[in-house]
Amino acid sequence: MRRPRGRLCGLLAFAAAGTLAGCVVERPADERSDGLPPEAPARFDFGRPASDERVALWDVDVKPNGEGLPPGAGSVEEGRQVYDTYCAACHGPSGTEGPNERLVSSGSWDQWPADRAVGLYWPYATTLFDYTRKAMPQNAPGSLSDEQVYAVVGYVLSLNGLVAPEAVMDSAALASVRMPARDRFVPDDRTGGPRIR
Ligand code: HEC
């Protein structure tokens, strides 16, 4: 067992407040700089170095205002095909049947917050793109092209009645979609402590 030296030292200093000038913590001779027990191997030999290609897949951020969205475009119509091929198995043929999360909202705030599907939950279409590109399809995240993501996000938005069936989505079009839940979120500017708003 590792001794909680820091805390013990703190307690001593507190008990003898005013009489202890300082508190010297000594490392035991066998302590490793990585904090692992002495018998642990230097390397565990699993994992692999992150290639530039894999880092690039994750190192993307799209801001609510659309900053960071890639070039390209995709139509709602193309998105229907992407959806049927890569999404319907988990989210259902019309985005409501599952077995996984519903993507199409009831459209009624009476059902909220139980109904947290795209139409009543996501505050920005831009970050829906970001999430879909990074995380979906869940069994092969990052496998869709940017055009396919534009298309399928457009299709999911159209299923929620938020863009027209003939719409073509690109960075400007996504940034201009006003999501119904936009004003249901507030910036979390708490500076500490459990304050509930
Ligand atoms: C293998 C199953 C699977 C496939 C295929 C899949 N998803 Fe998902 N999806 C999930 C699961 C599971 C979640 C919930 C993930 C979580 O909460 O962490 C999810 C969540 C989502 C969400 C967030 C829902 C919300 O509002 O909370 C969106 C949007 C989404 N998927 C879109 C897609 C799209 C678009 C595709 C096709 C390109 C797709 N998914 C393919 C399993 C899947």
CA dihedral 41, 46, 51, 53 (to 10 degrees): -160
Pocket of ligand 1 contains residue 159 by CB under 6 Å: no
Whether residue 16 is predicted with pLDDT greater than 90 in this model: the reply is no
pLDDT score at 11: 43
To the nearest 10°, the Cα dihedral for 126, 131, 136, 142?
90
Cα 87 to ligand 1 centre (Å)? 7
The per-residue pLDDT for 27 is 65
* CATH 1.10.760.10 domain position(s) in the chain: 59-184
Q: Give the predicted TM-score (pTM) of the model.
A: 0.76
Pocket test for ligand 1, best of 111, 131, 138, 158 (most atoms within 8 A of CB): 138
Residue 18 pLDDT greater than 80, yes or no = no
Mean model confidence pLDDT for the chain: 85
155 CB-contact burial (10 Å; exposed 0-12 / middle 13-18 / buried 19+): buried
pLDDT value for 17: 42
For residue 5, the model assigns a pLDDT of 44
Among 87, 131, 134, which is best to mutate for testing ligand 1, by the most ligand atoms less than 8 A from CB?
87
Question: Ligand 1 centroid to 136 CA: how many Å?
Answer: 6
Cβ neighbours of residue 165 under 8 Å, at least 6 residues apart?
76, 77, 158
pLDDT > 80? residue 4: no
Dihedral of alpha carbons 113, 115, 117, 118, sign: negative
Tokens (6 digits) for 54? 């894999």
pLDDT in tens, 139-158: 999 899 999 999 999 999 99
User: What is the CATH T-level fold of the domain 59-184, as seen in this structure?
Assistant: Cytochrome Bc1 Complex; Chain D, domain 2 (1.10.760)
Tokens at 62, concatenated: 């799209």
User: Using 50, 70 and 90 to split pLDDT, how confident is the model at 159?
Assistant: very high
